[in-house]
Amino acid sequence: MAVTAVFVLSLVLSTYGFLLDNAPTSSENSLFNSQYTGNGETPLYWRNRAKSDLDNSIKNQPIIGKAKNTIIMLGDGMSMTTVTSARILKGQLNGKTGEETILSWETFPNLALSKTYTQDYTTPDSAGTATAFLSGVKTNKGVIGVDASVPRGHCDPSPTHQLSTILDWSLAEGKSVGIVTTARITHATPSSAYAHVADRGWEGDHYTQHVTGGCKDIALQLVEDNPNIQVLMGGGRRFFLPYTAQDPESGSNTHYGRRDGRDLIKEWENDKTARNMSHKYVWNSKQFHQTNFSQLDYFLGLFDSSSMAYELDRFDTHYEVAGEPSLAEMTEAAITILQKNPKGFFLLVEGGKIDLAHHGNHAVKALHETLAFNDAVAKMDSMTNDRDTLAVVTADHSHTMVLAGYPARGNDILGLIKNSAGKLELAKDHKPLTSLIYGTGPGAWSGIRPDLTGVNTDDKEYVSESAIPFNPSTHAGEDVVIYAKGPMSHLFHATHEQNYIPHVLAFAKPPSYNRKPPSYNRKPPSYNRKPPSYNRKPPSYKRKPPSYNRKPPSYNRKPPSYNRKPPSYNRKPPSYNRKPPS
């Protein structure tokens, strides 16, 4: 097998060398020439670019070792179409055609696909998927941190069916942990790291006041049951304040406020004070930017009553008055606090508003949220080291947005489709269309499709067209991509079940992470200690029997009747070669 591999590699390299030797040199032709379409890229340009990619691939070697830090950067609803479209938008915002641009995570050396279905649904939601990529176990749609034996909405507070997560495993090893999101901190993805509920909607006791069985709401679980999460940033203030309180930004908290009258923010502060831990709570941008994060042990930032503002609305006073930090700024603050722990840290960062924008068919907002997520990943990358940090960028599920039609290279990704001659492309109804459309959502029309001529489809409030009316738009069920770098990131290499992700993170951590705490579902010893027959292959596997290595003569020499075809096969009969006279 080794000889075959060497032969194949030598053949590939020799072919590659031949192509390069016969490629035009820069003296024969430039990299760009106006006689070529697009940006004028010549054949030499494409060969040089491919050579550069190949050189980088050859140099890339797996980092075999243990990860001190593990990070999951989650783009909620970040489908492949979303990635492609955001890549193009990023380039166009920088004066380029866009298609040739790359996003920050697209330089990561290892990629795989993630199968996102839940145990009971083909197309998933964020609760079931987050439970999978954080606990390592697939479960039902709509539940958080419990296994698939728990029906949605059935209150069962016993720990029997509760699932521990990568956050729990990290805390058990003395590591620091943090969660950052642009959604509510009690929303499906962030809460799947710490909560256990039979319904993702139980974010506050406003929703559980009529639920019997003694189940805690998610906000209460965060403060009461998870006092050691050092960094918490996102939205969702309304579930932490009593219903009699005034929200500092939105005013009355009567509808969603806590029915038990408790102020969970104050309780969080009191716990840290009692434990003599340096801490700070903030709720606006000014307080955030006045904070010295390197001096803190604990930090809580709740920047909105509900989810945080869209990136395009952060500086729009019609939507945001007090101001909010960006996802990149929150990521930087989180790593600054967490990296002080010599044992390392686990961090979950979610670009949660990508999904919310897609649900409203707001392609413009969805792509700008993806670019904000791009900046957060770039910030994470600049603050960490590939030798000791395993970083994973992925999505929880897809959306129904597609990039369709035949737009010319460099066509405004958010605009109407134009061909290479600059003329609008028209559909069968003789009306223009945009490149980005949805399969489902509020953008569907009834009756005659409207004429988009003169419509500003780049406006952030524009609702993209959809084929089937749904409000909100549904998720989609196709695979999403896993991008990874750092120690053992090469283990992401194929099409994996989504629950595979935290198992790789656990395997990549120092030796103590290979001895998982008992709370990890109490797996039997046979899971932790593989039997000898697994670790040492039997001799019969290493030394193949002679009959396998030496093929019998009858196999090596084909019989004469096989090598010489009969005359009737080689010579067709005359009646076949000569057609009868007409």
Active site residues: 126
Q: Which of 489, 452, 445 is nearest to 467 (CA)?
A: 445
Question: Which residues, at least 6 apart from 428, have a Cβ–Cβ distance to it below 8 Å?
Answer: none
The span from the CA of 509 to the CA of 90, in Å, is 35
The span from the CA of 195 to the CA of 216, in Å, is 9
Cβ atoms 487, 63 nearer than 8 A:
yes
The reply to whether 76 sits in an annotated binding site is: yes
> Across 125-239, where does the E strand assignment appear?
176-184, 231-235
The reply to whether 359 sits in an annotated binding site is: yes
Identify the sign of the CA torsion 79, 80, 85, 89: positive
3-state secondary structure of 54: helix
Amino acid at 55: D
Read off the DSSP letter of residue 195. -
Report phi then psi at 424, rounded to 5. Answer: -65, 135
**Conformational region of residue 357, where left means phi above 0, alpha means psi within -120 to 50, and beta covers everything else:** alpha
The reply to whether 355 sits in an annotated binding site is: yes
Which token pair is 321?
Answer: 């008055």
Amino acid at 496: H
The reply to whether 358 sits in an annotated binding site is: no
The reply to whether 430 sits in an annotated binding site is: no
Spell out the alpha helix ranges (H) of 22-108.
43-59, 80-93
The reply to whether 187 sits in an annotated binding site is: yes
Compute the residue count for the chain: 582
Identify the sign of the CA torsion 28, 30, 31, 34: negative
Cβ atoms 103, 90 nearer than 8 A:
yes
Question: Which residues, at least 6 apart from 496, have a Cβ–Cβ distance to it below 8 Å?
Answer: 112, 113, 114, 115, 482
The span from the CA of 181 to the CA of 189, in Å, is 9
Other C-beta atoms closer than 10 Å to the C-beta of 10 total 10
First to last CA, the chain: 62
Question: Which residues, at least 6 apart from 573, have a Cβ–Cβ distance to it below 8 Å?
Answer: none
Cβ atoms 339, 239 nearer than 8 A:
no
The reply to whether 388 sits in an annotated binding site is: no
The reply to whether 324 sits in an annotated binding site is: no
The span from the CA of 468 to the CA of 444, in Å, is 6
CA 242-246-248 angle, to 5 degrees, is: 120
Which token pair is 437?
Answer: 């459309």
The reply to whether 313 sits in an annotated binding site is: no
3-state secondary structure of 484: strand
The span from the CA of 53 to the CA of 87, in Å, is 18
Read off the DSSP letter of residue 310. P
Binding residues for Mg(2+): 76, 187, 189, 350
Annotated binding site: 76, 187, 189, 350, 355, 359, 396-397, 475
The annotated binding site for Zn(2+) is made up of 76, 355, 359, 396-397, 475
